[in-house]
Amino acid sequence: MKALKCRECGREYPLTANHVCEFDFGPLEVVYDYDRIKKSLTRAAVQSRPKTMWRYRELLPVANDPTVGLQAGFTPLVKADRLAKKLGIRELWIKNDTVNYPTLSFKDRVVSVALSRSKELGFDTVACASTGNLANSVAAQAASAGLKSYVFIPSDLEQGKILNSLIYGAHVIGIKGHYDEVNRLCAEIAGKFGWAFVNVNMRPYYAEGSKSMAHEIAEQSGWRIPRHTVVPMASGSLLTKIQKGYQEFIKLGLVPETKYAVHGAQATGCSPISVAQKAGLDFFKPVKPNTIAKSLAIGTPADGFYALRVMRDTGAAAEDVTDDEIRDAIKLLAETEGIFAETAGGVTVGVAKKLIASGKIPRDDSAVLCVTGNGLKTLDAVDGHVGKPREIKPSLREFEALLVNEGKVNA
Amino acid sequence: MPKKVRIPTPLRKLTNNEELVEVNAATVGDAIAELQSRYPGIQERLVDEKGEVRRFVNVYVNEEDIRFLKNQQTPLKDGDEISIIPAIAGG
């Protein structure tokens, strides 16, 4: 790490807990010394290190060895032949962050970085504004690091995500409003209390953690960048960091320079970025979210502008799917690959299906789908849509009768 | 009659560390102009050369984003509270 730098005007700032350019409010981003990193971060060096996200340590914004989230990342890249056949594409891979450690979503990556850096900067209390997954990860990782935590969430979140924060002893504050309102309140709180707000004043460090997903995809693909990557978009941050991760690997000579596209996926009930992309605009109009994909329900996406730029620069597309399409895609992924994703995963798979059907991802190509969270956390979304168990007495005759009734065997 | 403007941390150097400033403006746009007359330099931090609110600045009147209202033409009434907040990332 060299400095923080404004993405809009280029002004540089010291490496403190600060996320906004004083001049134009542009987001601050960590700057690295890639010439120096190139000397130590070789394929051989990476492969000699433990299988966690920290094997790309030089590209993560901590000054010393990390202290929080040492086991996060390096989730499986699963070859999804059965799903590929259903969607009609030659080759398909699932980057499976439903099994990230410790809280089963890609947020374990960003929180590991944010809390490691928070400790370096001397904070004893961490906080976040969250649609659920981030709250879970902050609560769990703060507990294991001995930090106090405050997590702010919309009060109507899925029960699973609420309990998944409370269990760790975090201070959980439910806000009567949607995520954008939680976000606004947290921006005000962050200015008042001396806490490390992982996605407010710690955002420059926090957001960098997402890059490790791209680094892993490239390494697990045999040190190359996949032709197509499909990424869910809430604030748009993950998509921009996937692109940054790929670009870094090219810059460091770890992968060959190839043509690739990073496509964006949203839920129709909250699709400011995909609507703008489809209309060919370079700005978006904020919306009021209304979707079962609550983890993606950000109507004022802070990185929407940059996400649109990445899609334009890589020749990519965006698409969105309805609540029913999200549920169908969750089921399809589960039934073909044995992976139970949360609603955001349904958004990614559903959008991939549409992009393949429309030819935006050609059928003879290969694609990686980023599945970012676990279905066990959003059971409410599929409850009532996946059938019920048939109940019988503990009797062989009843079971045989059931099979006959269902036409599975002849009478 | 006064309306209140909440000044975010990055701009408080311009307002002598005042967190809450009162204005008499009739619209959001007028409020920004009034702030500029009292705290020179604040306007260019909030709006770009075309006069549009900057991409990473969110302005709220009583907790509602002005992009859902009438942007800078959003009318203000007595006791309204304007918040100026940098866009922040998701979760």
B12 to chain A, closest Cα gap in Å: 10
Each residue's pLDDT tens digit, B42-71:
999 999 989 999 888 889 999 888 988 999
Whether A354 contacts A334, CB under 8 Å: no
**Is residue B56 domain-resident?**
yes
pLDDT for the residue numbered B1: 67
pLDDT for the residue numbered B9: 82
Averaged confidence pLDDT in chain B:
90
The total number of structural domains that make up chain B = 1
**Entry pTM:** 0.93
A375's tokens: 């279905």
DSSP letter for each residue of A296-357:
G--SS-TTHHHHHHHHHHTT--EEEE-HHHHHHHHHHHHHHH---B-HHHHHHHHHHHHHHH
A237 to chain B, closest Cα gap in Å: 7
pLDDT for the residue numbered A24: 84
**Is residue B32 domain-resident?**
yes
Check CB contact under 8 Å for A300 and B87: yes
Chain B interface mutation, best of A18, A19, A24, highest count of B Cβ atoms under 10 Å: A24
Of B13, B58, B89, the CB nearest to A303: B89
A58's tokens: 């030089």
Q: In terms of residue numbers, what domain contains B73?
A: 3-86
Which residues 119-138 of A have a C-beta within 8 angstroms of B?
128-131, 133-135
CATH code, domain with B70: 3.10.20.30
Each residue's pLDDT tens digit, A93-142:
999 999 999 999 999 999 999 999 999 999 999 999 999 999 999 999 99
**Is residue B91 domain-resident?**
no
Of B8, B45, B58, the CB nearest to A300: B58
Report, as ranges of residue numbers, the positions in chain A whose pLDDT lies below 70. 411
Instruction: Give the Cβ contact number of residue B31 at 10 Å.
Output: 25
**Is residue B40 domain-resident?**
yes
Domains of chain A are: 1-31 (no CATH), 77-103+210-382 (3.40.50.1100), 107-203 (3.40.50.1100)
Which residues 317-346 of A have a C-beta within 8 angstroms of B?
none
Closest chain A residue to the Cα of B42, Cα to Cα: A23
